[in-house]
């Protein structure tokens, strides 16, 4: 039987369509994925992300440990309350996982890792921690609710403890406040403003119900995926994995090569790749005609005369219909020397697409030309 979050009964009560996601019973939608998508873009939506693992890292050498472990430099978050987005890398520079790490107190950091990679991440963290005075604690007693959208902070602030809400409403993006086991981070995975709130699992159902009563719409994993794609945010296992480095996945900005004396895991491989030059890049695509680009569809350079899909050198890593834009968008990995014109094989027909920058949507508005 799949695992269940503390909010499982709330999903059932709201008639959610439940699916097995990474071994968890999770809501894919509550009736209409597009309606839920638009609720986040126009107002506020809430997501149960308690299937993702909360890991507390604390001890006298927690900072030194994370400076070695992470591709980004936790020293950027030396001020309590700051957070960074980063990757865990293997020695080849491949991405073990992507995560956010919050600096909550002296020698105390909180990482949130992906559900599908929890087991291997914890094994990696534990093995690397052996040489440090540090404790790695998987907080299975906690739940996480993300509240996202233009009114997300306002509505969540009405439900949070007044003192905590007063602090949370003042923080800047990629900052967090903490009260005991509760942490409120101004982070998210939708391209909208909002909070990711970690709280005791036993308190999560009432908090969820209070948010719903305040007008925050429940949103499932289906809309979460289209929202993050419109925002140009990578999904682990599709847009990057252990065989792809951040430099090949549009995540070069998350790698802190300075200071030069910080010896993080994977650094040597990334420096070699940077000197050699990457052979592939991650790009944004907009389909020029009708249809939907799907994950796994092959991509060829524009103007190619080779019609055999088996010879295509590119592939869609994430693709979908974008409700905000009313058209299909995708992320794709293609040769680094390709230009702005490509073609996608959709149902055995080559369809023209245009390479564009991403995010595709920011603050609810399109960032691509018609």
**Domain range list for the chain:** 1-234, 279-366
245-281 confidence digits (pLDDT tens) = 999 999 999 999 999 999 999 999 999 999 999 999 9
Q: How confident is the model at residue 88, as a pLDDT?
A: 98
Give the pair of three-digit tokens for residue 303: 């103007």
- Given a contact cutoff of 8 angstroms between Cβ atoms, the answer to whether 87 and 282 are in contact is no
State how far the Cα of 96 lies from the Cα of 89, in Å rounded to an integer.
Answer: 5
Q: From residue 206, how far is each of 145, 164, 209 by CA, in Å?
A: 12, 17, 5
Q: How confident is the model at residue 369, as a pLDDT?
A: 78
H-helix segments, the chain: 8-13, 33-42, 62-69, 118-129, 152-159, 162-168, 204-213, 221-230, 267-276
Q: What is the mean pLDDT of residues 183-195?
A: 98
Tokens 């909002």 found at: 194
CATH architecture of the domain with residue range 279-366: Beta Barrel (2.40)
82-106 confidence digits (pLDDT tens) = 999 999 999 999 999 999 999 999 9
Average pLDDT, the chain: 97
Q: What is the mean pLDDT of residues 278-301?
A: 96
Q: How confident is the model at residue 1, as a pLDDT?
A: 76
Indicate yes or no: pTM above 0.85: yes
Res 58 pLDDT > 80? yes
pLDDT band at 293 (very low <50, low <70, confident <90, very high): very high
Q: How confident is the model at residue 114, as a pLDDT?
A: 97
223-235 confidence digits (pLDDT tens) = 999 999 999 999 9
Chain centroid to Cα 209, Å, comes to 25
Angle of CA points 193, 199, 200, to nearest 5° = 165
CATH number belonging to the domain at 1-234, selected among 3.40.190.10, 3.90.180.10, 1.10.10.10, 3.30.1360.120 = 3.30.1360.120
State how far the Cα of 211 lies from the Cα of 285, in Å rounded to an integer.
Answer: 36
Longest dimension (CA), the chain: 65
Neighbours of 285 (CB within 10 A): 25
- Given a contact cutoff of 8 angstroms between Cβ atoms, the answer to whether 145 and 49 are in contact is yes
Q: Are strands 361-362 and 176-179 parallel, antiparallel or unpaired?
A: unpaired
Q: Where are the beta strands (DSSP E) in 2-131?
A: 17-21, 24-29, 45-48, 53-58, 83-89, 95-105, 108-113
Q: From residue 13, how far is each of 19, 20, 95, 146, 208 by CA, in Å?
A: 15, 18, 38, 19, 12
State how far the Cα of 147 lies from the Cα of 266, in Å rounded to an integer.
Answer: 34
Res 370 pLDDT > 80? no
């Amino acid at each position: 039987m799949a695992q269940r979050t503390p909010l499982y009964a709330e999903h059932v009560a709201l008639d959610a369509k439940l699916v097995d996601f990474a071994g968890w019973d999770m809501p894919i939608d509550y009736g209409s994925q597009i309606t839920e998508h638009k609720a986040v873009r126009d107002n506020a939506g809430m997501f149960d992300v308690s299937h993702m693992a909360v890991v507390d890292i604390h001890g006298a050498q927690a900072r030194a440990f994370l400076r070695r472990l992470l591709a980004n430099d936790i020293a950027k978050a030396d001020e309590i309350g700051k957070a960074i987005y980063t990757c865990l890398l293997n020695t080849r520079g491949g991405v073990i996982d992507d995560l956010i790490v919050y600096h909550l107190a002296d020698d105390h950091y909180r990482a949130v890792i992906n559900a599908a990679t929890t087991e291997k991440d914890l094994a990696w963290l534990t093995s690397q921690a052996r040489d440090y005075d540090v404790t790695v604690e998987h907080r299975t007693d906690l739940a996480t609710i993300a509240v996202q959208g233009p009114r997300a902070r306002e509505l969540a602030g009405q439900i949070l403890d007044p003192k905590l809400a007063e602090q949370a409403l003042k923080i800047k993006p990629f900052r967090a406040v903490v009260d005991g086991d509760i942490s409120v981070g101004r982070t998210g995975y939708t391209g909208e403003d909002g909070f990711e709130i970690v709280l005791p699992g036993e308190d999560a159902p009432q908090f969820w119900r209070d948010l719903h009563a305040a007008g925050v719409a429940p949103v499932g994993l289906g809309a979460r995926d289209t929202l993050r794609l419109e925002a140009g945010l990578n999904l682990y296992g599709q847009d990057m994995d252990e065989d792809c480095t951040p430099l090949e996945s549009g995540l070069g900005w998350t790698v802190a090569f300075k200071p030069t004396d910080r010896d993080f895991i994977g650094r040597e491989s990334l420096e070699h790749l940077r000197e050699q030059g990457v052979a592939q890049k991650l790009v944004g695509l907009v389909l020029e005609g009708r249809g939907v680009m799907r994950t796994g569809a092959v991509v060829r350079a524009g103007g190619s005369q080779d019609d055999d899909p088996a010879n295509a050198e590119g592939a869609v890593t994430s693709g979908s219909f974008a409700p905000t834009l009313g058209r299909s968008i995708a992320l794709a990995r293609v040769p680094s020397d390709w230009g702005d014109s490509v073609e996608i094989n959709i149902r055995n027909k080559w369809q023209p697409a245009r390479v564009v920058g991403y995010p595709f949507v920011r603050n609810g508005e399109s960032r691509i030309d018609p």
